[in-house]
A and B are shown apart, each in its own frame.
Chain A
Amino acid sequence: MRSLPKILIILGSVLLLGTFLSPIWRITLEAPQYPGGITMYIWINKISGNQPGTLQNINILNHYIGMKMIEPESIPELKYFPKVIIGLAMLGIVFGFINNKKLFLVWGMIIIILGILGIYDFYLWEYDYGHNLADDAAIKIPGQTYQPPLFGSKMLLNFNAISYPYYGSIFIGLSLALSFAAFFLKRKEDNSKI
């Protein structure tokens, strides 16, 4: 199977587009009077919830503590992340056709770097929402901040905030895995040729 690495890298590129099919992160707020919780889904290009009114309901809760409104229109990442993903997929396909092991490794490294940057960016947004609170908020608790965790759960006043990657992230992981598989296979292939 001489063309296998090439197929894998192209497959990985196509799988990356799967991030448009499912959210990449999920944050759930749990409290007794919210049976089933309030769940916010973060997609590569939008923010949604488990109900039509979820975002509004979260903003209503947040305004009591002076948190900024979460307005998807004002988050630029939701506009350029999709372009980055599409660009990355196209690049992967081009690299696949060039069929060079170094390029496979480069593509994988780009995913890792962009992934880390993305998570760091997400952390910054969470930090900003959680710390940058209005002075005239109705509920002010000295020392209390409301940054939800990146991974895991944390009590924020009466809410338990639970944050984990969602199915969309699996596509990124698969792409990454395929890029490395392609790299190692290709290297093995190149070595055996000698």
Chain B
Amino acid sequence: MKSLNFIFTLLIIASVFFYSGCGNGSENGTGGAMSYSNAAEKVYVAPGEYDEYYAFFSGGFSGQVTVHGLPSGRLLKTIPVFSVDGEKGYGFNEETKPMLMTTFGFVPWDDSHHPKLSLTKGEHDGNFLFINGNNTPRIARIDLTTFETTEIIQIPNTAGLHGSPYPTENTEYLLAATRFSVPTPQKDVPIDSYKENFKGTFTFISGGQEPGEMDIAFQILVPGYDYDKANSGKGPSHGWAFFTSYNVEQANTLKEKNASQYDKDYIAAVNWKKAEEYIAQGKFHEWPSEYYHNYYDEKTHMATATKKKGVKVLIPSECPGLVYYLPAPKSPHGVDVNPTGEYIVANGKLSADLTVHSFAKMIAAIEAEKFDDVIDGIPVLNFDAILAGVVESGGLGPLHTEFDGRGNGYTSFFISSEVVKWSLETYEVIDRHPAYYSIGHLSIPGGGTMKPWEDGKYLIALNKITKDRYLPTGPELAHSAQLFDISGEKMELLLDFPTMGEPHYVEGILASKIIDRQVKFYLLEENEHPHRTLIEADTKVIRKGNEVHIYGTLIRSHIAPDNIEGIKVGDKVFWHITNLEQDWDVPHGFAIMGANNAELLIMPGQTETLLWEPKTEGIYPFYCTDFCSALHQEMQGYVRVSARNANTKMKWRLDEEVFGE
């Protein structure tokens, strides 16, 4: 009987919750278009008109970044970052293969997570986009003049790079935290020696504003927890970085239960200005850790991978005042600092309430030494001494909060599948809106910066579950993003649109901050590729043992040379192809039958190289893959492959002219 009563009570609670949920959503329904009188108008971008914002979506397990326009949600470009991309030849052509080098060798895939735009004075400056690869820890830079990945740095002593890249106020540093604690440095130990051997690290990466200069400034060795998300302080809290942790239980198996036992986990607050002092004083350990730094030079159109060795490691017990733990309920995911830099919001993903800590109180508690505990030299601050307020949300599973610059926070609730708007002044809930379904992160253009309102009147919800939102496409469905208008008191759902992979975060920026700096094509006279061919007359074929280098050019509508003889089975043939066009939007593609890699997609003024190893004799056609002109179909050629021991003379031609050995 007792249990039956309990079930009835649950049912009643559930039904009340359900009805209240419906009540809130009734005017918005489940997103039927009829309920939105002017939503269509708000997201309509007329043919030929531009969107107001660029939005950079993490491609999640695709490893890439997608660029959409807002408010239309239209896909503008997929930028290959951590995964090879046959469409663009990224990771397949000789120029970009080095981008994906790591100490584990060539790693052609990753799980891209958090796109973050570079900051100057706490505002988006439109210079660069950074994104972290979670699986094989790396951070990439995307240049916003070309929308290409130009730099990737591997993060050593890290396993699972999740809390990253979160630039500091002027992009002095990018942040990185290990998601999975592991033996640091790595060694062969029993897994159940976790508590004894496993450690975490926080990494500070310098050079964010200097292309080609990204480097590991220093690392901090911290207790072996799971570290989840991070954020940088701003304004008064500039100079501090915050990292959430879970699994302070230090479980190494069945973490879903064993890492969820304690009511509170920690936010680690790191005083990185103090870290700089300790580094200057030489209080660091030099570890012989190895990592790769890969840089794509836009003049040589070529990437180089450089193996580096040695990082500076700070140990908190030797560096007082470097790290503090702020208690936060329960297994917090996001840690978010409001635009004024005073409030630190902990989103305890297994709790109902949001915890808001005060930076000023945190400093006061540190000065008054209100410590409840000290773990490995890291003082744990008293929860009540630093608490600014609690948002009793009525939801469940807060993940991530952003701000509108008008004193409101917007928090995603995964379990109760909703966005909750609340006041930073009163900590009261102002509005809530269901998200379809199970929202992960949310984003307001500029909502993580010091000036959100200058950039943002929209909120984008990134949902983890799609189900019935679109025409079904078999078992696998695109993830669903939703656009909300947040300019009024009530949030208004405007648009659903599908995204690539699983977008973990998106960052939006006013198009006007980027649009004027777009490169339209590369100037041929600035091409410094070692295998460039700047005029058709210089095209040639050179044999060096069993290596053959073909120096070719593309221009509407022919490939030079287009008849090549003298290639032999077993040759390694390098096609160094230059696109001679000097106009916007005239890329040429290049593909050859049976190539074991991909096509080249060469922008005007650029040189790219395809390695081709023909295995059988015969005639092989090659052609332009990107419809370029009225005679695109005619833009093709033949290469003759002879037997290894054949004495076919090396010969190449274009139209009347024949050249050869």
A residues near B (Cβ < 8 Å) are 51-53, 56-57, 60, 64, 138-139
Contacts and interface: CB of A to CB of B under 8 A. Distances in A.
B4 interface: no
A3 B557 CA distance: 63
A50 to B, nearest CB: 11
Contacts of A52: 523, 582
Given A53-B581, A139-B630, 18 more contacts: A51-B582, A52-B523, A53-B521, A53-B582, A53-B583, A53-B604, A56-B580, A56-B581, A56-B582, A56-B583, A57-B582, A60-B555, A60-B556, A60-B629, A64-B557, A64-B631, A138-B630, A138-B631
A122 B212 CA distance: 51
A23 B353 CA distance: 70
A56 B586 CA distance: 13
A56 B604 CA distance: 12
Nearest to A35: B48
Interface in B52-87: none
Closest 5 A/B residue pairs (Cβ):
A53-B582, A60-B556, A57-B583, A53-B583, A56-B582
8 contacts: A51-B582, A53-B581, A53-B582, A57-B582, A57-B583, A64-B557, A64-B629, A64-B630
A97 B13 CA distance: 106
Contacts of A60: 555-556, 581, 629
Question: Chain B interface: which size bin?
Answer: 10 to 19
Nearest to B521: A53
Interface in B137-184: none
Nearest to A139: B630
B73 to A, nearest CB: 24
A99 B604 CA distance: 58
Contacts of A51: 582-583
A52 B582 CA distance: 7
Q: Residue among A52, A53, A64, A139 with the most chain B CB within 10 A?
A: A53
Contacts of B582: 51-53, 56-57
Contacts of A56: 580-583
A138 B582 CA distance: 22
Nearest to A158: B630
Interface in B625-658: 629-631, 634
Interface in B559-592: 580-583
A126 B555 CA distance: 25
A161 B367 CA distance: 77
Contacts of B556: 60
Contacts of B521: 53
Q: Residue among B521, B583, B629, B630 with the most chain A CB within 10 A?
A: B583
A60 B604 CA distance: 14
A179 B428 CA distance: 84
A122 B122 CA distance: 59
Contacts of B604: 53
Nearest to B631: A138
A182 B629 CA distance: 56
Nearest to A38: B583
B443 to A, nearest CB: 32
Q: Residue among B581, B582, B604, B629 with the most chain A CB within 10 A?
A: B582
A139 B556 CA distance: 14
Contacts of B555: 60
A65 to B, nearest CB: 11
Interface in B282-339: none
Nearest to B655: A136
Interface in B465-486: none
A1 B629 CA distance: 65
A52 B580 CA distance: 13
A120 to B, nearest CB: 33
Nearest to B604: A53
Nearest to B525: A52
A51 B580 CA distance: 15
Contacts of B523: 52
Contacts of A139: 630
Contacts of B631: 64, 138
Nearest to B605: A53
Nearest to B524: A53
Nearest to A136: B655
A52 B629 CA distance: 20
A147 B393 CA distance: 75
A53 B629 CA distance: 17
Contacts of B581: 53, 56, 60
A56 B555 CA distance: 10
A138 B580 CA distance: 20
A52 to B, nearest CB: 6
A64 B634 CA distance: 12
A185 to B, nearest CB: 51
Contacts of A53: 521, 581-583, 604
A52 B521 CA distance: 10
A42 B300 CA distance: 34
